[in-house]
Amino acid sequence: MLAGIGVTWYTSLEQGRAIQVSAQVVESLARALDLNAAERNHLFLLARGQQPADPYPFTAAVSPALQRILDGMSAFPAYVANPRWDLLGWNQAMARVYTDFGALPPRERNILRLGFTHPSRQTLLANWEQAARGLLALFRASTERYVGEPWLKALVAELELASPEFREWWPHHAVQATHAGSKELNHPLVGRLVLQPTTFQVADAPDLRMVVYTPVAEANTASKLAQLLGPMEVGTAG
């Protein structure tokens, strides 16, 4: 009754009979059963063979445990972002290699905004155009299930106004599932750094991903990182 579904029809669904189930019906059931995000996804997979296109609200902050993990990887720059590519957590290594994210307004802690509207990022990356195009391809692949969502339309419209490069490249529809290679940086303090990004999904919060940058064995990156990082304090997320 709470889901607005007839008993006979619900029984057919529960028994796994060959019936067509709309996303709206499954959503009604998820609300009536008060399912959490993982249970709701599981229900969609059972009933429709696919995950819901409109997930629950994004995680807004990293847990203290996850922040401790970031801080514990003190030798490697690392961060955690949500599907909108908002930076929710990072360590001191990430802040010293890239920028002091804690000094930025929360709205500006977004990977795409930083990449396309902050001149410092364009000078930091050795080949900014190649990196930015790769960034767009990764973003398109990671947000394909959110096509049509108001937040995605708004972010794209904002960046099309703010960046001529974004406006030119976004319509190319390039798609890239994972980081294609290492990132070369021209750091103002230690010079050339070559870092390999690796992405991990956070099991306790499936909408979050952690990206860790490890030094590549060229350009003396490991020793330059050690020089750059030096003594560090823990606790960085804002």
Residue 215: exposure state from Cβ atoms within 10 A (0-12, 13-18, ≥19):
buried
The whole-number pLDDT of residue 24 equals: 78
Q: DSSP letter at 59?
A: P
Span 174-193, pLDDT tens digits: 888 777 789 999 999 999 99
Q: CA 111, CA 118: separation in Å to the nearest integer?
A: 10
Q: What is the CATH number of domain 64-229?
A: 3.30.450.180
When computed from its CA atoms, the radius of gyration of the chain, rounded to whole angstroms, is: 21
Q: Which residues are bridge partners to 193 per DSSP?
A: 185
Which of the residues in the chain have pLDDT under 70? 51-56, 231-238
Q: Where are the domains of the chain?
A: 7-48, 64-229
The pLDDT, as a whole number, for residue 149 is 83
For residue 235, what are the CA distances in angstroms to 67, 92, 161, 200, 212?
A: 7, 8, 35, 21, 17
How many other C-beta atoms can be found within 10 angstroms of the C-beta atom of residue 11?
11
Range list of H helices, the chain: 7-14, 23-32, 37-48, 64-72, 92-97, 111-117, 119-124, 128-142, 150-162, 164-169, 221-229
In this predicted structure, what is the pLDDT of residue 221? Answer: 93
Closest by alpha carbon to 83, among 54, 106, 46?
54
pLDDT attached to residue 53: 64
pLDDT, residue 238, reads 45
Cα separation of 187 and 198, whole Å? 20
Kindly report the pTM of this predicted structure: 0.77
CA-CA distances (angstroms) from residue 83 to 58, 126, 214? 7, 26, 23
